[in-house]
Amino acid sequence: MTLKTLIVDDEALARSRLRTLLRDCQSPAAEVVAEAAQGAEALQHLENMALDLVLLDVHMPGVDGIEVARALRDRPDAPAVVFVTAHAAHAVTAFDLDAVDYLTKPVRAERLQQALQKAERFLKERRALQANALSESVLIQDRGRAERVPLSEVLYLKSEYKYLTVRTASRSHILDGSLNEFEERYPGRFLRVHRNALVARSAIRALEKYDDGEDAEGWALRLDAIPEPVAVSRRQLAAVREVLKEPR
């Protein structure tokens, strides 16, 4: 893995030294694709190119390194951030902003190589998690349009005729599939509450008496984020009550 790297420092000599040190780093190697002398310039680079790593000074005129890291914090595609600074006082703040390492100047080659290895591990672990999250989704196809709905957003699935209704907080989707498949594949995520319904365990809010017009002694679940109840069969009532006892 070669890390596409942005060096951000207001001192030209500091940028030059980092570039020289990076040439000797291997496993992983780093390729400097851009430099910036201030935070605002760095943010422009970050908007316009795909980067793996930012070597980031803290004290710079205008937008400083802390502000740059804060702007990157919630971006799912953000590069790994390694602070490189003459000041050790900001280390706690840096790690609160999810920096993978914090180097103090003058930077030693061995220490920089360690930081690159940490950045590589961070990126590989994040990409593995993102790939896993993508696989944990339902592919909805409707009128020539395909959409992936993350399983984490599914509140319940109901079997109706030959199709499943897949309910999220914002809308309902129609899926060609079976409840048994979801129940067997994701037993820790979904709970059978009726012969025709699975609900997300994490979405269960309350169990209450429910008169659906056919059974005045019926029960239903209230789920987070949606108004409609989901009927619970008498056969599944004990299992639902056990799940409600579990800590959330």
User: Mean pLDDT of residues grouped by 10 in the chain (248 residues)?
Assistant: 95 96 94 96 93 95 94 86 89 87 94 96 86 76 84 94 92 91 90 96 94 77 95 94 85
pLDDT at site 134:
56
pLDDT at site 225:
94
> What are the boundaries of each domain within the chain?
2-134, 142-245
pLDDT at site 228:
95
| CATH annotation of 142-245 | 2.40.50.1020
> What one-character-per-residue DSSP string does 167-206 give?
E-SS-EEEE---HHHHHHH-TTTEEEEETTEEEEGGGEEE
* CB hemisphere CA count around 110 (13 angstroms): 0
pLDDT at site 144:
73
CATH class of 2-134: alpha beta
pLDDT at site 106:
93
CA distance 198 to 180: 9
What is the C-alpha R_g of the chain? 26
pLDDT at site 142:
78
Whether pTM exceeds 0.85:
no
